[in-house]
Amino acid sequence: MLKGLILSGGKGTRLRPLTYTGAKQLVPVANKPILWYGIESLVKAGITDIALIVSPETGSEVQEKTGGGKQFGATLTYLTQDRPDGLAHAVKIARNFLQDSSFVMYLGDNLIQDSLGSLIETFTTEQLDALILLHSVKDPRSFGVAEVDDQGNVVRLVEKPLNPPSNLALVGLYFFSPKIHEAIDCIQPSSRGELEITDAIQELINQHLSVKARQLQGWWLDTGKKDDLLEANRLILDTYLNPTVIPEDSESNPFYIDSHTQISGRVEIGAETQIINCSIRGPVSIADHCHIENCFIGPYTSIAAGVTLKDADIEHSVVLEEAKIVGIHQRIVDSVIGARSCLTPATQRPKALRFLLGKDSQIELV
């Protein structure tokens, strides 16, 4: 039986200031933490014994919010990686948990559309020692890069090469047999001071073990930057959003929508949310306990729980929990608004606004 290993550590430097005070894997996409998509993907494929590698700084937050796994139908074990010493180092930390099991390793800040079922079948039926996933990218210099032969065998792997041998980047999802542990024991830290998983896989190749690659058919996103996060939010809303059915009998609704509000497209509305005199064009996700009044909410917007929006226009943006945006008459686009941030207006108004705000921010437009 395969086990699961999800990496949920790291400092999230590319998403600062959002991640100064929180884990990057808990930043929501379509009002669900990025990390949870990976857990759900593993569980859907039948993998329910899962370890999460967490950092000392954010591990308690990840564990508190994610829990023991009951809500996912899984059993979650939390393992702390004291320093970000590489993906292969994370596997070493999980060795006692993994024991002699084959396993799937998933990077917790990645989102992958493809289901895991057929990939697991390939890995198990062909008795592979490693199966890696690849996706073509415009600039592979920032990724692990693979060179593959016509039969799908991996010939060579290079981590962040200056002269990439191909445009095929390694996706943050790996399938390993227990032989990966011996390979990791054979490698040394790279010039970055980390134990690279690419070096460990290359060691499997050097030992003439079975390492194959498959190219993803659907989309893949590493949500480490603001624009990637917004693109992930767009894709998830486009692909998976289930709109809320609004009964004609308003008294039976768990939320309140007044008669002046116009809703078109797929819109999800949480319990005890009030929407007054608004125009909302989906796909849009609105969580519980929000108050939205005199607003235009445009497509590809996610609004987390407890948010207040008054006299504001916003689209293609993510608003985190308990943020407050009041009296901003210029349209807010392509923005990520941190938890409990507060935006208020001044007198001079530009034509468009763009934000990346961390928790507890206070913004006054001047």
Q: Is residue 318 part of a domain?
A: yes
- HEC profile of the chain: CCEEEEEECCCCHHHCCHHHCCCHHHCEECCEEHHHHHHHHHHHCCCCEEEEEECCCCHHHHHHHHCCCHHHCCEEEEEECCCCCCHHHHHHHCHHHHCCCCEEEEECCEEECCCCHHHHHHHHHCCCCEEEEEEECCCHHHCEEEEECCCCEEEEEEECCCCCCCCEEEEEEEEECCHHHHHHHHCCCCCCCCCCHHHHHHHHHHCCCCEEEEECCCCEEECCCHHHHHHHHHHHHHHHCCCCCCCCCHHHCCCEECCCCEEECCEEECCCCEEECCEEECCEEECCCCEEECCEECCCEEECCCCEEECCEEECCEECCCCEEECCCCEEECCEECCCCEEECCCCCCCEECCECCCCCEEECC
* pLDDT attached to residue 265: 94
Q: For residues 261 and 357, which has the higher predicted lDDT (pLDDT)?
A: 261
* pLDDT attached to residue 218: 86
188 and 100, same domain (yes or no) = yes
Q: Is residue 200 part of a domain?
A: yes
97 and 209, same domain (yes or no) = yes
pLDDT at residue 173 tops 60? yes
* pLDDT attached to residue 12: 47
Tens digit of pLDDT for each residue in 123-160? 999 999 999 999 888 888 888 888 888 877 888 888 88
Q: Is residue 159 part of a domain?
A: yes
Q: Could you tell me the residue range of the domain that residue 267 belongs to?
A: 252-364
CATH of the domain at 275: 2.160.10.10
Tens digit of pLDDT for each residue in 232-248? 999 999 988 988 877 66
Q: Mean pLDDT lowest for which of 132-141, 252-261, 281-290, 356-365?
A: 356-365
CATH of the domain at 209: 3.90.550.10
pLDDT at residue 354 tops 90? no
266 and 219, same domain (yes or no) = no
Question: What pTM was estimated for this model as a whole?
Answer: 0.87
Q: Is residue 39 part of a domain?
A: yes
216 and 261, same domain (yes or no) = no
Average predicted confidence (pLDDT) for the chain: 88
Q: Is residue 65 part of a domain?
A: yes
pLDDT at residue 100 tops 90? yes
Based on the structure, what is the number of domains in the chain? 2
